[in-house]
Amino acid sequence: MKKIDLRKDLKPFYNPSSVRAELVELPPMNFIMVDGRGDPNTSEAYRNSIEVLYNLSYTLKFAIKKEEGVDYPVMALEGLWSAPEGVPFAASDRANWSWTSMILQPVCVTDGWFRKAKEMVKAKKELPLLDSARLEEFAEGLSAQILHVGPYSAEAPTIQRLHDFIREKGFMARGRHHEIYLGDPRRSAPERLRTIIRQPVTHS
């Protein structure tokens, strides 16, 4: 059995400090993605997107392990977020957020495997957003990131610290606000949740 340890291989990108922000150069990586819009706390589409991502990710994991003898962990849920143009993300109305829910996949998850997994999931259950899921390379490049510890609703000061760091280093934000959810809100107390806050940057 061949094992792929994504958490170990990608540790420099998924283990930031909560004390100080840092710059990282992210390589291109493949994700299963689903797009949507609205408040993640109330949006049925957002909940549906997560269900699709995990169903596909676990279907791929077990099928590839069985047929190719390759084992790997299912990675954490991630999200790309954006507010309407000209509105600061942290201060914007969540109902107007656009989002992309996504889960990182190893290189052994090919287009062929992804199409096969979709058919396997479709044969077992009806998921409203299954057809809209896609496998896509995401090349984020140079980014600043920091770890937020605590409830999602208290992220604003951490986001501000990250953007202050970006300006102090002579960069400016580009692209979409990125969050990686290392904690499980169903099992962890809100004050113990761990979320990576990431923002792509460019020279100002």
Q: What is the CATH classification number for the domain harbouring 91?
A: 3.20.80.10
> pLDDT grade, residue 86 (50/70/90)?
low
Q: Which two tokens stand for residue 123?
A: 């044969």
pLDDT per residue as tens digits for the range 47-68: 999 999 999 999 999 999 999 9
Q: Residue 187: its pLDDT value, please?
A: 76
Residue 153 has pLDDT above 80, yes or no: yes
Residues making up the chain, counted from first to last: 204
Residue 35 has pLDDT above 90, yes or no: yes
Q: Which residues contact 47 (CB under 8 A, 6 or more apart)?
A: none
Q: Residue 91: its pLDDT value, please?
A: 61
Residue 92 has pLDDT above 90, yes or no: no
89-98, 132-141, 190-199: least confidently modelled range? 89-98
Work out how many domains the chain is built from and give that number. Answer: 1
In angstroms, the Cα distances linking 1 to 72, 121, 148 are: 10, 25, 36
Provide the mean pLDDT of the chain: 94
Residue 21 has pLDDT above 70, yes or no: yes
Domain holding 183, by residue range, is 2-203
38-42, 90-94, 110-114, 197-201: least confidently modelled range? 90-94
DSSP states of 93-126:
-GGG-EEEEEEEE-TT--HHHHHHHHHHHHHH--
Q: Residue 90: its pLDDT value, please?
A: 64
Residue 172's CB is within 10 A of a number of other CB atoms, namely 12
Q: Residue 2: its pLDDT value, please?
A: 94
Q: Residue 58: its pLDDT value, please?
A: 98
